[in-house]
Amino acid sequence: MPEGERAVLELVVIDQLTVTEAAMALGIRSGTAKVRLHRARRTLRGLPFVMEGTPG
């Protein structure tokens, strides 16, 4: 995942900032932050997650 997308995702998900606050923290426009967040979430949805040690 590109650095810009990861940075917005971390600020919104981990640090609990709004997209606008994340944009201000990164010095980018709010619209740019929204696009980056969307792309980051889309990337995460496409990743296969493997759960080790689960009964099945």
Measured on CA atoms in the order 7, 17, 34, 26, is the torsion positive or negative? negative
Q: Read off the pLDDT band of 27 (50, 70, 90).
A: very high
Read off the pLDDT of residues 31-49 as tens digits, 9 standing for 90 and up: 999 999 999 999 998 888 7
Q: Which two tokens stand for residue 56?
A: 């099945």
Cα–Cα distance between 28 and 4 in angstroms, integer?
A: 10
pTM: 0.82
8 Å CB contact between 12 and 18: yes
Query: Which ranges of 3-29 does DSSP label H, i.e. alpha helix?
Result: 3-9, 19-26
What's the confidence (pLDDT) of residue 53?
56
